Structure formats: C-alpha cells, structure tokens
Chains A and B, each alone.
Chain A
C-alpha cells in the first residue's frame, strides 16, 4: 500500500520560503497570486493490507515525527 503524507504550515505561521517563491513568481510576470505557502510531501510504502490500520499508523507517525504539530498540519492520503 502506498501513502502520501502532506505537511503544511498552520495558518498564522509565517512562511518566509513561501513569501520568497511568491516574490519570484511575481518577478517572472505571473500576476493574480494571492499567496504562496510551501509544504512537504512524504511518500511511504507500507506492508499493511488494512486501510484503517494503515491510516492510524500513519497518523501516529505524523504526530511522533513527520510533522511538528506546534507549527504544522498534516494530511494523509492512501494512494
């Protein structure tokens, strides 16, 4: 089973990297950009066959390591 974990910064947490990307897109002439936020994508292959159990395991991984819940949210997709 393949899973994709998406980690994004929480609302209200400043994202200087996103701001820099936003500025560079503007410099390239892309207009109409409201804002840019940068996150991370982590792809994980699991041996589990049970989707519910896999989701629970992935959530535990996010809480313990993959995301820093002080500043980040996470989202799990089973692919």
Chain B
C-alpha cells in the first residue's frame, strides 16, 4: 500500500496529511513535487490543502496546469484512488477530474471552525467505516468552498449518488443555517462516477488523534487505506 502526496508551491497541509496516512497505515507517504512529470507507482494519490500559487487567478487554477497534472489525469483514468482535500478539491475541479467549481464563500469570510457533516453513503471506498446518515465532526479552513454546479450537473451528482458529505446540523439535517459557505445542496464532498476519486472541502486529516479533540476523520483514512491495502 503506497501513498503519494502531491505538493505545489503554497501547499501547506501536506504534513497533516502525511501524519494521518502514517497514523492509520503505519507507512510513510511519498511527497511528489509539482514540477515532476511522473507520479511514482501508488495505490492512493492525495492532493492536500493549502493555497497553491497564492490562489492567483482562481483557487487551484495554476496548480491544475502544473507539469505533474498530465500524469495525474492519466492515473485518474487508470482508476488509481485519488483524494483531494480543500485546495486539493479545488485543483480536482479545475483539472476537470471532478465536476463543478469552488467559489468564494457566500458570507465572503474565511471560515476556520469545526462543522458537522452528514455521511450520505457507507458503501464507497471512502466512507465504508462510517454509517449512512451518521453525523461526523470535521474542521474546515477555507475562503473558496462554495460548491457550484449547474442544474443538470447537480441533478446528475444527486441522481448518481455522488454526494458523499453534506454540511448539516447536530441532528443531521442539511439546513440552510448549517450550510456554512453557500454550497449548492449543502455539498461538502463529491466523488467521480467510478467511485475512485473524492474531493471534499473539510479536513478529515485534522481530526484523527485524541490530541485533535476527536477521531471523527480517522474513518475516512481507515476506509481508504484498508481498501487499497
């Protein structure tokens, strides 16, 4: 079981991600610099959070045109598991690997706090350690997390069960009040049609140790690292 973490100029959550991978799998991930042209053989590729290229032009836009991305597209096509968190999710939408776009938060402020997410499915490689309908705690830290997709794309995502996480209240209701950033349908995370690629704005890697104040994010890594082991 090998994990590769892609690092762009301005990425800053790669060590949080590496700590999560190490904590759950016991193995060190490889760090892959954006200027490389090939991602070494890996069962899981992670695009961590941060502010690649200072969010210039659009969040993730410049990173999505980095040399390494040609091989990322190829690996995505081959069915290699890919996880994009926060800026990683933004980069995945900018490459076109995942549909939609992450826009400026509806309230215009940078949001750094703990949120609640409702698990929409428990039969995916990302969420098999959770129960459908379960509410998990998960921190967010973003300025551009407002998920937008046009009506047709949104319907396709919903009909095909590709929404895995939604912002919700303590009772698991995806209310407008619980929708921290204005995302359509309270969407916090979506996967590709084949179920091999997940993009999400919240940071599960920051809730995996007792010292973090909870273990709610650990399930995602357990699901994923167990399935690709």
CB of B57 within 8 A of CB of A65, answer: yes
- Compute how far the CA of A66 lies from the CA of B148 in the bound complex, rounded to whole angstroms: 18
Q: Mark A1-31, 1 if CB is under 8 A from B, else 0.
A: 0000000000011101100100000000000
CB of B101 within 8 A of CB of A71, answer: yes
Chain B residues near A14 (CB-CB < 8 A): 103, 106, 146, 148, 182
A79 at the B interface (CB under 8 A): no
Interface residues on A, range: 10 to 19
The B interface, classified by DSSP as helix, strand, loop or mixed, is: loop
Chain A residues near B106 (CB-CB < 8 A): 14, 16
CB of A71 within 8 A of CB of B61, answer: no
B96 to chain A: closest residue by CB: A70
B window 127-151: CB within 8 A of A? 146, 148-150
- Compute how far the CA of A17 lies from the CA of B57 in the bound complex, rounded to whole angstroms: 15
A window 26-68: CB within 8 A of B? 64-66, 68
Chain B residues near A17 (CB-CB < 8 A): 104, 108
Given contacts A12-B150, A13-B148, contact A68 B105 (CB under 8 A): no
**How far apart are A65's CB and chain B's nearest CB, in angstroms?**
6
Chain B residues near A12 (CB-CB < 8 A): 150
Chain A residues near B148 (CB-CB < 8 A): 13-14, 70-71
Given contacts A16-B106, A17-B108, A20-B108, contact A70 B93 (CB under 8 A): yes
- Compute how far the CA of A20 lies from the CA of B182 in the bound complex, rounded to whole angstroms: 15
Given contacts A12-B150, A13-B148, A14-B182, contact A68 B94 (CB under 8 A): yes
B107 to chain A: closest residue by CB: A16
**How far apart are B87's CB and chain A's nearest CB, in angstroms?**
15
B58 at the A interface (CB under 8 A): yes
Chain B residues near A13 (CB-CB < 8 A): 103, 148
Chain B residues near A20 (CB-CB < 8 A): 108
**How far apart are A70's CB and chain B's nearest CB, in angstroms?**
5
Given contacts A64-B65, A65-B65, contact A70 B101 (CB under 8 A): yes
B100 at the A interface (CB under 8 A): yes
CB of B103 within 8 A of CB of A65, answer: no
**How far apart are A18's CB and chain B's nearest CB, in angstroms?**
10
- Compute how far the CA of A64 lies from the CA of B62 in the bound complex, rounded to whole angstroms: 11
CB within 8 A of B58: which of A16, A64, A68? Answer: A68
CB of A16 within 8 A of CB of B182, answer: yes
Q: Can you list 5 A-B pairs, Cβ within 8 angstroms, ordered by A?
A: A16-B104, A16-B108, A17-B108, A70-B99, A71-B148
Please report A residues at the B interface, Cβ cutoff 8 Å. 12-14, 16-17, 20, 64-66, 68, 70-71
Closest 3 CB pairs of A and B: A70-B101, A71-B101, A16-B106
